[in-house]
Amino acid sequence: MERSSSALGTLGAWTREIAIVVVGALIASTLLRVFVAQMFVIPSSSMENTLLIGDRVAVQKIVPYQRGDIVVFRDSLGWLGAPPPEEDAWQKVLIFIGLAPDESANHLIKRVIGIAGDHVTCCDAKGRVSVNGTALNETSYLYVDPVTGRQADPSSMAFDVVVPAGTVFVMGDHRNASQDSRCHIDEKIIGRPEGYQAMVPTSDIVGTAVAVVYPFSRFHTISRPVTFEAVPAGQSPPAKPIVKGPRVTCP
């Protein structure tokens, strides 16, 4: 009887230790997800060739974003149209504790082209996007057609805006397949200023993409293009968007 009680006591102690380890790991994973990093799945072709459909991307939440960074943000502006389908309860739990990537359709991923106070225009005499009067050399990341080898133009539409306080202006690397800030400049919302729908609130930004972690064959870190280093500081950010250019219509 004593031997049996001893065995049960040992088993109970072992079970408690395992439970403590598991709970501790789940708490650590949850804290990492909420405050440090999170994984997202790329759902569309708007960031090709930089990011491909199905890529798992690590997004860090500590270091602030800068011009040129790729950011994940919540779709509070309704760019995606219909609300996303609800995940089941188990999937939500796995995502929350960081054991599954977030595959929900209520987030987008784009490149930050302009921050608050920046004057973003397209196109100059060479068809380039300019920020605060400095033309960007985007050849290192714009989409290249795998069949023809031709690189996408910086933009097929002209625009001229000043980014207001508390927002950013974003574009996809596959410009012809990206419904980004350009496509919402002329979108009218009752009670909102012109250009409001084009500017992503900084409060919606989840974090900055730092690496493709899966599939393993595509593992690589993501760096900020050097062309953004030459961009000078913008003006004092206006309270609302300033739209100077022609009406913009997305293809």
Query: How far from each other are the two terminal CA atoms of the chain, in whole angstroms?
Result: 80
Please give the model's pTM, rounded to 2 decimal places.
0.81
Q: Single out the residue of 26, 46, 59 nearest to residue 172, CA to CA.
A: 46
Per-residue pLDDT of the chain (251 residues; tens, 9 = 90+): 444 555 545 655 556 555 444 444 444 344 344 434 588 999 899 999 999 999 999 999 999 999 999 999 999 999 987 554 555 555 555 554 444 555 455 899 999 999 999 999 999 999 999 999 999 999 999 999 999 999 999 998 999 999 999 999 999 999 999 999 999 999 888 999 999 999 999 999 999 999 999 999 999 999 999 999 999 999 999 999 999 876 666 76
Tell me, what's the pLDDT at 24?
41
Distance of CA 206 to the CA centre of its chain: 7
CA-to-CA separations, 79 to 16, 108, 179, 183, in angstroms, rounded: 48, 9, 8, 9
The ranges assigned to domains in the chain are 40-84+103-243
Which structure tokens are listed for 7?
């065995």
CATH classification of 40-84+103-243 is 3.10.20.30, yes or no? no
Give me the pLDDT at residue 19, please: 46
Question: What pLDDT was estimated at residue 98?
Answer: 46
